[in-house]
Structure 1
Amino acid sequence: MTDARPKTIQIFLPNGNPQGIRVARITSRTVQAVEIPRKKLEEAGNREEARGVGVYVLFGSAEGDAGKPPAYVGEAENCFERLEVHQQRKDFWTTAVAITSRTRSFTKAHAKRLEYDCYRVARDAQRFRLQNNQEPSEPHVPEPMLAELQDNFEAVQTLFSTLGYPILDPLTTDRQRQERRALRCQGRGADARGAYTEDGLVVFEGSEVRLDTAESVPDSVLRRRENLREEGTLVEENGALVFTEDHPFDSPSGAAGVVLGRSSNGWREWKDRKGRTLDEIERQ
């Protein structure tokens, strides 16, 4: 979970274009994030921030009704040069975000440790489908360096989230609190629990989903269910589909449609322990 204390973040637009390269900095920290759209990669070669030692993440888009968007975590002594390699070898990504040091204090050891920590936290946060073929191994770093990096890691989390990539933020940061406010969606062969959060409607791990679908089920629901099965978020167990991890949906209706296997109004299908609908709780 990112640090909840107040902070000031500066976002610099080198060419004045919000859709171009963006450099984000927390004024009290030495780490910085450089967001590089793929089509602007050549231009990024002129930016000192992009050529530093550090960790980077390649981000792709979740197309159509796919589940989680893809991402790849890596490290480099020169982030821009490594991104040039990925320009030729990896097709899925549309944007890269590199984390480097404003004071050029990062070494290869810093980068390796940041890569290890970012991958581990991103894997546990379950927001993106990681494309790494191998998990980074834990590097040995001196204790003072480790303490420094741990102190800066919350800044790294904040910078990714500020730029719109919450890859290091857990979906449900306080599960006990969410469980107390849990909603339920039930139907034939379905019994799901979840919570309405800032991430949308998060369906909890272990929720049961109807195995078959209604004849009138929308194509978008079918595609979403198929994609969730392909990526392993839904697996078949004892005559039902079961969520293997917490999963966010942009809308309550999207979540209810997948759970119930039919067109659904999620604002009415999701209810709390008192039987109140999500519509009654949030909109009335």
Structure 2
Amino acid sequence: MHNNKRPRTIQIFLPTGDPAGIRIAEQTTSIIRLIEVPRSDIAEFLKLPEAKQVGLYFLVSGDSKEELYIGQSGDVGSRLMQHHKDEKKDWERALVLVSLTNNLTQTHVLYLESLSIEKAKSCQRYELLNGNSGQKPHTPIPLKADCDEIHEISSLLLATLGYPFFEPLTEHAATEIEQVFICNRTGVDAKGIYTNEGMVVLQGSSAPMTTKRKTEQRFFDKRDQLLAKGVIAIEAERFVFQRDYLFQTPSGASMFLLLATSNGWIDWKTDQGLTLKDYQGHSLESITQ
């Protein structure tokens, strides 16, 4: 769901030949290179010339890849080694942004760090571990224009590798363009938008804290995780979404709301009562006729 949609070619190089190892992504017409480094492969990364460059980096942690730290350095390899030795930081993968022509300056990366923190906060996909918003340096207009373009390309490369830090969850905050689906079984009052990533449950959706249906502890465990993160909050014996939140499947979203098993393709409906399954079916028929 990239904002500036047009066909692109992305090249991914595997320097060790292992698709789970270091991956280097580039857009074929750009000088920006993004290197994904598993923590176990830091030694391999330090052998690459890019490790000595000025760069912006992202540290991703958590099993569900939901925690993010953004930083920059004049010597990105040394900085990653410091993070590796720092016991306070728990991370699994680093994503390092450098320039093929080695022309990024400290001003570029300071501006990009600040811009990235701001954008990641507004997208709210990841819990940002940065204590502050970075130092936005005084940036001349031409350099700012370059940085904005670098940020756009880096967003695309990150999303291509599976890290959509800066991608809005839905196409438009005002949802009149996208079809809104409703889940309203057993006291649930929720709205969602089905995207190519899954079901986004919209801010303000709510459901009862208890259920009379036959259920399992795992549904309550997931609810408690999102309560701890502040994604949902308790109001008058209901849990209420404090922000839009992406579930990977329609059923994952409806089960979370109903606290029990559910088929999201049936339990999400348009306001006319058409199920998500039938709605998708009609869309497909109109194309194939």
Please say if residues 194 and 203 of structure 1, whose CA atoms lie closer than 8 Å, have aligned partners that are also in contact: yes
Q: CA deviation at 1:2?
A: 3.9
TM-score, normalised with respect to structure 2 = 0.91
Please say if residues 60 and 93 of structure 1, whose CA atoms lie closer than 8 Å, have aligned partners that are also in contact: yes
Q: CA deviation at 1:101?
A: 0.8
Aligned to 2:262: 264
Equivalences for residues 194-273 of structure 1 within 5 A: 194-214=192-212, 216-273=214-271
Aligned to 2:9: 8
List runs of 5+ in structure 1 lacking aligned partners: none
Aligned to 1:56: 57
Q: 1:88 aligns with which of 85, 89, 93?
A: 85
CA RMSD in angstroms comes to 1.8
Distance in 2 of aligned mates of 1:245 and 1:183: 17
**Paired residue secondary structure (2:184):** strand
Aligned to 2:144: 146
Please say if residues 11 and 22 of structure 1, whose CA atoms lie closer than 8 Å, have aligned partners that are also in contact: yes
Please say if residues 178 and 195 of structure 1, whose CA atoms lie closer than 8 Å, have aligned partners that are also in contact: no
Q: CA deviation at 1:179?
A: 6.2
Q: Deviations over 1:210-238 (max 9, x none)?
A: 22234632232111100110000001123
Aligned to 1:103: 101
Aligned to 2:173: 175
Residue type matched to 1:282 in 2? Answer: Q
Aligned to 2:43: 42
* Higher RCO (CA < 8 A, seq sep 6+): 1
Distance in 1 of aligned mates of 2:258 and 2:124: 23
Bigger Cα displacement from structure 2, 158-167 vs 213-222: 213-222
Q: Detail structure 1 runs of 4+ shifted over 4 Å in the superposition.
A: 177-180
Give the paired residue count. 280
Please say if residues 178 and 193 of structure 2, whose CA atoms lie closer than 8 Å, have aligned partners that are also in contact: no
Aligned to 2:287: none
Please say if residues 11 and 25 of structure 1, whose CA atoms lie closer than 8 Å, have aligned partners that are also in contact: yes
* TM-aligned CA distance change 1:59 to 1:269, over 3 Å: same
TM-score, normalised with respect to structure 1 = 0.93
Q: CA deviation at 1:146?
A: 0.6
